[in-house]
Amino acid sequence: MNLIKEKFINYKARKRQEKYEKQHDILYKRHKTEKVLFLIMFIIFVIFAISFIFPFVWILINSLKSQTEFSTNFIGLPETWTLENFENAFTYNSAATRYYNIFEMMGMSIIIAGVGTIVTVFTSSAAAYVVAKYKFFGRNIIFGVVIFSLIVPIVGSLPSQIQLMDALGLSDTVIGCIFLYSGGFGMNFLLLYSFFKNLSWTYVEAAKVDGASDFKIFFRIIVPMAKGPIIAISIIQLIGLWNDYLTPSIYLPEQPTIAVGLKYMTDTMTQRGTYTLLFATIILTLLPIMLLFCMFSKTIMENTSVGGLKG
């Protein structure tokens, strides 16, 4: 009897060992496959990253060369490092840029992009909150108009937009340019709408019981709760407005922003063959927005996710 029991125990132990070895083999094989897959994806992403970084590094290196050296050596490192191109870029102006220098054009971009971001984020937040949390007649119609406005190409509404700006007397004015950025609908609306839709209504109900008005609830409760997503959207919006070329070039041609001025300078410098000066100017225009993104990249990543905003 003991012998049979001992054989049974050994049989069970052997089966457990075989099962463990089988699972180990499966996990080991899958682990090796995952390693190969991760290595392939890593190589692809490295190549993808280099394709973005290389042009910037090439421009930076060549901006530190003289024009003569660039003509003979546009690939290698500079034989003589110089900051002369950056010094000239600070003071460069021409008839193409309406004799504005780079500082004045950056100042115009800061005003338009900064004020435009504040206005559009505020209107988008208010509109998204009302549509997401309040039930009223026409709410679905408003949401449908938002979706429709995203579908229609911008060139489809451009002629009527130009006529409207001329009729209002807002063409060639800073206020007019900011007015075009102040719409409460668009992608910002959809992102904030998805966040407010999933926001708890408990705090709002408690505030209403205490007699708080709708405006007080929005500014004292809703906005602080949505602080992270609002900051993330603000940074993304600011970068977009800083880089915007179309709107300022149409409605503010006499007071160029940095995006418009860079296009004018690119045409002029290319015709004159002063490429190293052009490279230095490009680096100077990129620095502010790159520093801003580096400062707030963690905030953007923490408050955004694939398909929308994190609640």
Q: How far is CA 43 from CA 31, 33, 90, 213, 281, in A?
A: 18, 16, 40, 56, 33
> Is 268 part of any domain?
yes
Of 133, 131, 150, nearest to 141 (Cα)?
Answer: 131
- The residue among 157 and 59 whose pLDDT is bigger is 59
> Is 78 part of any domain?
no
Task: Give the lowest-confidence range in 31-35, 81-85, 209-213, 306-310.
Answer: 306-310
- Percent of the residues in the chain that have a pLDDT greater than 90, as a whole number: 6
Count the domains in the chain. Answer: 2
> Is 89 part of any domain?
no
Mean pLDDT of the chain: 81
> Residue 54 sits in which domain range?
2-63
pLDDT for 184: 74
CA atoms 165, 170, 172, 178: torsion sign: negative
Q: How many helices (H) and strands (E) does the chain have?
A: 15, 2
- Judged against a pLDDT cut of 90, whether residue 115 lies above it is answered with yes
Q: Which residues does residue 309 pair with via DSSP β-bridges, in sequence order?
A: 304
Together in a domain, 168 and 295: yes
pTM of the model: 0.76
- Percent of the residues in the chain that have a pLDDT greater than 70, as a whole number: 85
> Is 80 part of any domain?
no
What CATH number does residue 173 fall under? Answer: 1.10.3720.10
- Judged against a pLDDT cut of 60, whether residue 305 lies above it is answered with no
Tell me which of 12, 43, 63 is where a domain ends: 63
Together in a domain, 177 and 234: yes
pLDDT tens across 203-217, in order?
888 888 888 888 888
Together in a domain, 118 and 214: yes
pLDDT tens across 5-57, in order?
555 455 556 666 666 556 555 555 556 677 778 788 889 999 988 888 888 89
> Is 222 part of any domain?
yes
* CB contact burial 61-83 (16+ within 10 A = b; e otherwise): bbbbbeeebbeeeeeeebeeeee
> Is 303 part of any domain?
yes
Together in a domain, 188 and 282: yes
pLDDT for 139: 82
H or E element in which residue 264 lies: helix 258-272
- Mean pLDDT value across residues 190-202: 83
